[in-house]
Amino acid sequence: MPTITTTDGTEIFYKDWGTGQPVVFSHGWPLNGDAWDNQLKLVADNGLRGIAHDRRGHGRSTQTYVGNHMDTYADDLAALIEKLDLRDIILVGHSTGGGEVARYLGRHGSERVAKAVLLGAVPPIMLQSDTNPEGTPLEAFDGIRNGVLADRSQFYKDLSVAFYGANREGSNISDGTREAFWLWSMQVGVAAAYDCVKQFSESDFHDDLAKIDVPVLVVHGDDDQIVPIAAAALKTAEIVKDATLKVYEGAPHGIVGSSYEQRFNADLLAFAKS
């Protein structure tokens, strides 16, 4: 099982498929690198090298009690990139993974990076405040933390509904998709899952976004019930110097469904090849 070891002894699991220009994927909470399997195969089939890791505390990486912090997530990503000596990278981050990508670029710069993709990503900041009235109230994130501690199995089953828009009229999200979400979520250590809520909701990425000096594709569904577009992509696209915004009408948060996923796959490949 391929892993790298960080400076604090955490083992980070990763998948590495194909050859060519590397496309490095960062997953959302509370999932793992398996959520990117379709995209890993897509890029590998098209002459690129797809790499996806499990964030610390998630999936097959070390079940960490400490270090569950956005800065550490970015440093773990840097450790993976440096260990594999990746260059001319296309970074792709979904949800919390989008925050990880932004923080990586803010902390480590773009020397090894050619482009980035932020999909349904949490920057610039999710938490509602006087300066961010479009954000999500703290009570909602407290509810997530309570759900993780009280009955995480049922909580993750329930969360998959909004995540994939299964509560919308006409939704054809399969039971299998929701069960896969539950399975991946149950592999997260409780401590890491709990800590990560604060990281994806309260981390302020304004400074990170302002430092990004590579082209960025910003993609977001306008029916995202997890990371509302008004507080996220619409603001991110205004901050990043070289951003291209694509809004997917009616799309949920999770990357699934014939129209959403196929459109994203086409846009990802086009952006990678441009």
Residue 193: domain span: 3-273
Pairing of strands 22-26, 89-94: parallel
- Rounded Cα distance between 111 and 204, Å, is 23
Query: Is pLDDT at 258 greater than 90 in this prediction?
Result: no
Average predicted confidence (pLDDT) for the chain: 97
Rg of the chain over all Cα atoms, to the nearest angstrom:
17
Q: Is 175 a catalytic residue?
A: no
Per-residue pLDDT tens over the stretch 48-86: 999 999 999 999 999 999 999 999 999 999 999 999 999
Q: Is 94 a catalytic residue?
A: no
The pLDDT, as a whole number, for residue 257 is 74
- Rounded Cα distance between 94 and 97, Å, is 5
- Rounded Cα distance between 75 and 117, Å, is 19
- Into how many domains does the chain fold? 1
**Rounded to 5°, angle at Cα 180 from 168 and 63:** 125
Per-residue pLDDT tens over the stretch 112-138: 999 999 999 999 999 999 999 999 999
Q: Tell me which H or E stretch contains 14.
A: strand 11-17
For the question of whether the overall pTM of this predicted structure is more than 0.95, the answer is: yes
Q: Spot the catalytic one: 26, 61, 95, 203.
A: 95
The pLDDT, as a whole number, for residue 1 is 82
Question: What are the φ and ψ backbone dihedral angles of 192, each rounded to 5 degrees?
Answer: -65, -40
Query: Residue 151: which CATH number?
Result: 3.40.50.1820
Q: Is 110 a catalytic residue?
A: no
Q: Spot the catalytic one: 54, 75, 76, 224.
A: 224
Q: Are 216 and 243 in contact (CB under 8 A)?
A: yes
Q: How far is CA 144 from the centre of its chain?
A: 17
Per-residue pLDDT tens over the stretch 86-109: 999 999 999 999 999 999 999 999
